[in-house]
Amino acid sequence: MKKKILFILLIFVGIIFASFFYIQSNIGNKFDDKLSFLRSAVPAEYRKIIKETIFVFKNQKILKKKIKRLEDKLSFQEKLTTNILENNKKFIFNFTENFEEFEESHNDHNYNLKLFSNSNLNLMGPRAYLAMDKDFLYLITGTGSLMYTSSRDIEKKTQIEFTKIKTNFLEINEKDFTHYHTTTIKSILIKDNNIYVSQVKKQSKDCFVSVVLKAKLDLSDIKFKELFNTGECIKVYSNQAGGNLADFKNNKILFTTGAFKTFEDMSDKRPANERNFPQIEDSYIGKIMSIDTETGVAKVLSMGHRNIQGMFYDKVKNVIYSTEHGPTGGDELNVNYGADTDEIENYGWPIASYGVQPDYWDESKKVYMKKLAPFYKSHIDHGYVEPLIWFTPALGITQIAKNPYNELLKKDVMYFGAMGWDIEEGDLSVHRLVLNNDGTVFDKSRIPIGDRVRDLLFDINKEKLYLFLENSGSIAILTKK
């Protein structure tokens, strides 16, 4: 009797398993008539629950296929847009909007904001950077497409026509890598009829390095050569790379590198002090340095940096201003008053920060990281340089520029961009900072833009700001009324 019951039970279990695997293997097959009665019998609101909880393995396969289709579609769109950027010789930015009454917070100042957009750059995003000389405005995309336009009476035009400059950028870089990441370019600088471009380069498999390229400025054909290479391999590509370029004294330029999340890698079993590169003087990671434009020789000026996104050198006062992303909160505006001394200033990352540990770290990682990165709030109490100002919540702070000494205010006026996503928190704006002669803050305010300000530069001759807005792929011209 017991054997009979056991036999029946085994048959029943077998039928259940067979039914389970049959149903699971045919989930998503709308042409299977044998399952149509089940679909009609089960209410629609329960089908999804059953699929996600009982037949979870098959559902995962279906989701993976959907993700793969979306990735393929996105890859096709990126390649299509990249192809347009590579092969088109002209790029038109059409006038889209003009905000005639744009009010600055805390002040009665009004601004004109004129927008010119290009849908290809909107698709290509999220990066593009600007540079100027006395005649032209230059733009370079995250994938290295370089173009220029005349800056004469640019604010009066109904469209801005950029002309593509032929370069060897994709010849000296891995094309697939550049197109896949779309953010390898980090900055552009024009100095003494030379053009400098910074990038993250794939040097070999699992080896990414920060590089500065140099070429003679030629509007028809530019041949870049490597001026500087950190020579320090980062195993995983990261946008925590810094990369800003700025003019400096004599025949030198300034260059920044980010921390590349090096100390966050828990799979790296080296002692913490051996891979905390921003705090290692002999490393080029997490630094501001000067680079000789003839020899490529670098000199570290400051250390303890996480991810600098903006930099400006005040030649009159011999001061370096830099803006830096914090982890979660803790964006900083830093000042180096000893711009070219033998003393290396230390700004504290990752020991000191006004930010907090990122939410994407799990609890075990937070405990592990706290030993290496305690995030002391006071910098100066622990031997580091205190930021001039800091922001929590973070702004996604970006490029910084200076309006030459304001004779009316008798003070320096600085502007810097903000990305982020919440305009109420100060994101999506241009911030204005007025400094006393001793470097302390006299006043700060912001001009809400409503778009992520990736880059900005100040046109000294015309007293206007040029912005690159990455959400809309727009060039904006901001003028004070």
CB 416 within 8 A of CB 400: yes
136: nearest Cα among 480, 476, 466: 466
| Token pair 């390095």 in the structure block, residue | 209
Please give the biggest Cα pair distance in the chain.
106
User: Which tokens in the block code for residue 350?
Assistant: 């990752």
Give average pLDDT by consecutive 10-residue segment, the chain, 481 residues: 66 60 49 51 56 56 69 65 73 82 63 88 74 96 94 90 95 86 94 97 94 98 98 92 96 97 77 85 97 98 97 94 96 93 94 92 87 93 98 96 76 94 94 93 93 93 89 91 75
| pLDDT at position 286 | 97
Rounded Cα distance between 256 and 196, Å, is 13
| pLDDT at position 100 | 58
- Plot region of 106 (φ>0 → left; ψ -120 to 50 → alpha; else → beta): left
Q: What is the CA radius of gyration of the chain?
A: 27
Amino acid at 438: D
477: nearest Cα among 105, 113, 87, 99: 113
CB 347 within 8 A of CB 325: no
Rounded Cα distance between 75 and 64, Å, is 16
| pLDDT at position 30 | 45
| pLDDT at position 311 | 98
Helix (H) or strand (E) holding 195: strand 194-204
| pLDDT at position 262 | 84
94-480 topology per CATH = Neuraminidase (2.120.10)
| pLDDT at position 52 | 58
User: Would you list the domain boundaries of the chain?
Assistant: 2-67, 94-480
Q: At what angle do helices 2-26 and 56-87 cross, to 10 degrees?
A: 20
